[in-house]
Amino acid sequence: MNVIIGSDHAGYELKELIKEQLKQRGINYKDVGPFSEESVDYPDFGHQVAKEVDSGEIEKGIVICGSGNGINMTVNKYKNVRAALSWKPEIAKLAREHNNANILTLPARFISSEEALEILKMFLETDFEGGRHERRVNKIAIA
């Protein structure tokens, strides 16, 4: 599995923690930045992640900002992106099982590091159920 990850300045510290977790799991990742806590604009990094997931070049993405909302809105503008703003592991699990979410969005200012790692685990380890959910997922994108 290949993962692409990006954040804004509010999500930088959590991004670094998640990168360590990905390394420990032996998962290849591409970090598009930022590379410090200096103030940046979340859309710049969200677009980079979304473009590669949208094109199919990379299977899954992770994006992080303070509330998770802005960067989630940005990445969900792409036709083949299904990003899930997750603040509990159960939300990430259902997003994968029922919505085939391919980008995990985390709200850095509203979850602990421990919660973030549990959410990440669910996102990475849960498969899409398909079946009746496939039909629904196919109705999400606007042609």
Q: Beta-carbon neighbour count of residue 73 at 10 Å?
A: 16
Sign of CA dihedral 90, 92, 97, 99: positive
Residue 68 included in any domain: yes
* Residue pLDDT, tens place only, 90-127: 999 999 999 999 999 999 999 999 999 999 999 999 99
Separation of alpha carbons 48 and 31, rounded Å: 10
> Cβ neighbours of residue 75 under 8 Å, at least 6 residues apart?
46, 47, 49, 50, 53, 61, 63, 81, 83, 103, 105
- Residue 41, domain extent: 2-137
34 cis-preceded (ω within 30 degrees of 0): yes
The active-site residue, picked from 9, 47, 98, 133, is: 98
Domain membership of residue 143 (yes or no) is no
Q: What is the CATH number of the domain that holds 6?
A: 3.40.1400.10
Among 9, 47, 65, 133, which one carries the catalytic annotation?
65
The answer as to whether 142 is a domain residue is: no
Per residue in 69-91, pLDDT tens? 999 999 999 999 999 999 999 99
Q: What are 17-58's pLDDT values in tens digits?
A: 999 999 999 999 999 999 999 999 999 999 999 999 999 999
> Would 110 be classed as within a structural domain?
yes
Instruction: Name the domain count of the chain.
Output: 1
Q: Can 9 be counted among the known catalytic residues?
A: no
Q: Is the pTM of this model over 0.75?
A: yes
Could you tell me how far CA 112 lies from the centroid of its own chain?
Answer: 16
Residue 65: active-site member:
yes
